[in-house]
Amino acid sequence: MLTRSRRRLAYLFTLAMGGILVTFAFVVYYFLVKERLRVFDQQLKDEAQSYVFEFQYVSEQGQYRVEYGGIPLETFADMVPKGLKYACWYDNLKRPLRINDDICPPQKLVKQGFQTIDFNQFSPNYQQDWLRQITAPIKNGNKQIGYIVVAKSLQPIQENLARSRFYLSLGVPTTLGLIGIVGWFLGGLAMQPTKRSYEQLQRFTADASHELRAPVAAILSNAQVGLLAPEDNSELPRQRLENIVDISKSMSALIGNLLFLARHEGRLNLKDLQTIEIVGLLKRLADEYQLIAEEKKLTIMTEFLSEKATLLADPDLLQQALKNLLDNACKYTPQHGMVKLKLFTQLRRISIQIIDSGVGIPTEDLPHIFERFYRVDTARTRSSGGFGLGLAIAQQIVQAHNGEITVQSKVGEGTIFQVCLPLKKV
């Protein structure tokens, strides 16, 4: 399902970006053609003007004669400058004064301004070529005496545009391919929150079904045994009801822990955090666990900072995490052992250590102790009767505060849990 959604996101992203890219390519090509043609027209106009200025125009009985250096134009074999296809003169009625039928356009193609024409239409003897033609009036003083038509091949601009089309035909598909790859990658990033939520839901469902199956079966078994007891035996049903109550309490705690893990996934909202003084919070926790330690004949030791240290945190959640660690330390430390609560700062972070002289954790189990429902198969597990969620909850709370929790342990010597949290910026 997630892969299909990611594929759909990548497809839609590629389709949208591809449409924008193709439209952009067409717009760029359109303005490129327009700009190339404008430059070409300006060059043609300049060449035509410089060419016209080389001649003299003599009027005779309502007609005019084109001369070059006092010599009539008709005596020159070829007066077309290099780069121009043809240069032709016409009178005011656009009738040719001097025309080479193989080169100059017929009267119907003479229109004032710029034109793009097919040279092969009127000169079939020449190889097909597209020309850019300008028709400009010729004036003698303030009087218009005729027209001149100058044309130039569009082959250079066609070659230039052909190269541009070639680059676009390569660039657009290549870019579309890159967009598709980027879309797939971004789709994966966009799906990460959904994927985490989906995995969280699956994990919650699997954990709940796995852990609740046994207590539900035990409740059902106790209820059935209680119902089968003889009517004159009131002790057996009472015992079964007490078992059901104990199991229900255990289930209630388990469900509360599972809901806690599901509800507090990810970073906390900064608006929900408060400024707390960590030394005071730890002192209150140490006083609270002093009574528990005395019952278990343990020694509680503390080592705090002399100055105050503040951080942004949810006090209830942070206290929950530290209580889970202290519970573990007291639970797995034998009588006459020691539990130490230590606080120090390093590089704009505070470090809280919970140190015990308990049974320790085997090296092979250390990478897994923060996993949900993981239980170490040692005396730690046999004496705990827990669900294996306490450390997972502690880790999730610390990570939600942008912190880190680590553990060091050696079997028979004890364990050190360290919580690192960022100090509040001044």
Report domain extents, the chain: 2-160, 270-422
CA angle 278, 284, 290 (to 5 degrees): 135
Tens place of pLDDT for every residue, the chain, 426 residues? 677 877 888 888 888 888 888 899 899 999 999 999 999 989 888 888 877 777 766 666 656 666 665 555 555 545 666 778 878 877 777 777 654 545 677 777 778 888 888 766 666 555 557 888 888 887 777 777 778 888 888 888 888 888 988 988 888 888 888 888 888 888 778 777 777 777 767 766 776 676 677 677 778 887 887 777 777 777 777 787 888 887 787 777 767 766 766 666 666 777 778 888 888 889 988 888 888 888 888 998 999 887 888 888 888 888 888 988 998 888 888 888 999 999 998 878 899 999 999 888 888 888 888 877 776 754 444 344 556 777 888 888 888 888 899 999 988 889 999 999 988 765
* Predicted pLDDT at 262: 66
The SS3 assignment for 408 reads strand
Residue carrying structure tokens 């100055």? 307
Determine contact, residues 298/329, Cβ cutoff 8 Å. Answer: no
Question: What span, in angstroms and rounded, lies between the C-alpha atoms of 411 and 421?
Answer: 27
* Predicted pLDDT at 100: 52
> Per CATH, which fold does 270-422 belong to?
Heat Shock Protein 90 (3.30.565)
CA 125 vs CA 79, 109, 110, 129, 231: distances in Å? 21, 18, 20, 11, 123
CATH 1.10.3210 at 2-160, yes or no? no
Question: What span, in angstroms and rounded, lies between the C-alpha atoms of 324 and 268?
Answer: 19
* Predicted pLDDT at 142: 76
Q: What is the pTM of this model?
A: 0.49
